[in-house]
Amino acid sequence: MKRWWYLGAVPLVILVGWAAAQPAADPLIEGFRKVEVASVADATEQLYGQRAYMAHDMRPLFKTKFAGPAVTVLLKKEEHKEGSAASQGMLDAIDSAPPGSVYVMVLENGLDYGGVGALMVTAMKYRGLAGAIVDGSIRDTPQITRLQFPVFSRGIAPSTTINHFRLAGVNIPVNCAGVTVNAGDIIAADEDGVVAVPKARAAEVLKKAEELDNTEHSMLPFIEKFKSLKEAVEKFGRI
């Protein structure tokens, strides 16, 4: 049987279909898509004295940058023989997630299990999700890479979660790689890592992060010209 997503000019159809599923631009989300994640982390710490960034081992499968509101899923470790029915809600969460969402999955003690694979990623992509964050491992990496859907995880493993995990909740507060994430919080990700910003604080954090970005980007040509980091720090007040 011909697999239409593999051959011919179909990749163009895939890209057009995915783009068409994207939501109308939200200025707040657009801002987080443009600003550097490091600046968001600094902004949250400077404004609130709190950590916004996930653990250092939360890494992307390939170079990417995205932002969007969180849809959270929590799976608890439990051995059983009920098959996929015990975790059906993790699939339902994808099918009901609004376009532009970021799927945030937490696997309890799940570094040795592939929580997200090619089937789930295909559904995420064609429903127009912005990306996925997995506190656990992922699998089917060749197919995910081919799909070019942005996924961050803490590892890669060939194993399944079926019969090993049970759904504990959807759109509930979760601790994802050291950071509390609530449904609707803004997730921003780039090559430096992932941050989570509470929705109520997002506008203020974005404004501060944009200021930090602008300052740092102004410092770079100054350092190139005067060849002095000390003078740049004295002039711009940032390091």
* pLDDT tens-place string over residues 67-87: 999 999 999 999 999 999 999
Domains annotated on the chain, with CATH:
26-236 (3.50.30.40)
Closest CA to 205 of 2, 50, 15, 57: 50
The answer to whether 164 and 87 have CB atoms below 8 angstroms apart is no
Provide the CA 87 distance to its chain's centre, in angstroms.
21
Considering the chain, what percentage of its residues have pLDDT values greater than 90?
A: 78
Contacts of 9 (CB under 8 A, 6+ apart): none
Beta strands 151-156 and 131-138, pairing class: parallel
Q: Name beta bridge partners: 35.
A: none
Contacts of 126 (CB under 8 A, 6+ apart): 17, 18, 21
pLDDT surpassing 60 at residue 10: no
Closest CA to 58 of 150, 126, 144: 150
113: DSSP letter: S
Closest CA to 203 of 186, 189, 220, 218: 186
Closest CA to 194 of 66, 69, 99, 73: 66
Exposed e or buried b for every residue in 104-138, given b needs 16+ CB within 10 A? bbbbbebeebbbbbbebbbbbbebbbbbbbbbbbb
Model confidence at 55, pLDDT cuts 50, 70, 90, reads very high
* pLDDT tens for each residue of 126-146: 999 999 999 999 999 999 999
Diameter of the chain measured on Cα atoms: 67
Closest CA to 223 of 212, 235, 211: 235
pTM: 0.86
Q: Cα separation of 177 and 123, whole Å?
A: 24
* pLDDT tens for each residue of 189-225: 999 999 999 999 999 999 999 999 888 777 677 677 6
Instruction: Average the pLDDT over each of 13-17, 51-55, 91-95 and give the range with the smallest value.
Output: 13-17
Model confidence at 235, pLDDT cuts 50, 70, 90, reads low
The answer to whether 78 and 188 have CB atoms below 8 angstroms apart is no
The answer to whether 144 and 162 have CB atoms below 8 angstroms apart is no
